[in-house]
């Protein structure tokens, strides 16, 4: 899957539980789990905005695009590594 969801990283940085995050964003904990596990097919901008507001972050802190070809080759290239 080319989009990686990094909610768990941002929650860990803030020592925030999934339950607290879900409540503050207005999602159920099970829907947060769907997002965290990469099973979501779409995210509304209003939900993304609420997640960024609660976590005080940018959308790029929560979502990362990874080239499918790099995953299939066994070498996942991330961020600045692709420029090297």
Q: Give pLDDT tens digits for 2-56.
A: 899 999 999 999 999 999 999 999 999 999 999 999 899 999 999 999 999 999 9
**Rounded Cα gap, residues 68 and 17, in angstroms:** 31
Given a cut of 60, is residue 81 above it in pLDDT? no
Phi, psi of 42 (to 5 degrees): -160, 160
- Per-residue b/e over 15-35, b at no fewer than 16 CB within 10 Å? eeebeebbeebebeeeebeeb
The answer to whether the pTM exceeds 0.85 is: no
Closest CA to 62 of 53, 74, 72, 71: 53
């Amino acid at each position: 899957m080319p989009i990686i969801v990094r909610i768990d990283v941002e929650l860990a940085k803030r020592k925030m539980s999934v339950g607290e995050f879900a409540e503050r964003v207005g999602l159920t904990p099970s829907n947060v789990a769907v997002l965290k596990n990469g099973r979501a097919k779409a995210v509304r901008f209003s939900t993304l905005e609420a997640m960024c507001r609660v976590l005080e972050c940018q959308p790029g802190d929560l979502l990362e695009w990874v080239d499918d070809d790099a995953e299939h080759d066994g070498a996942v290239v991330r961020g600045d590594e692709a420029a090297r």
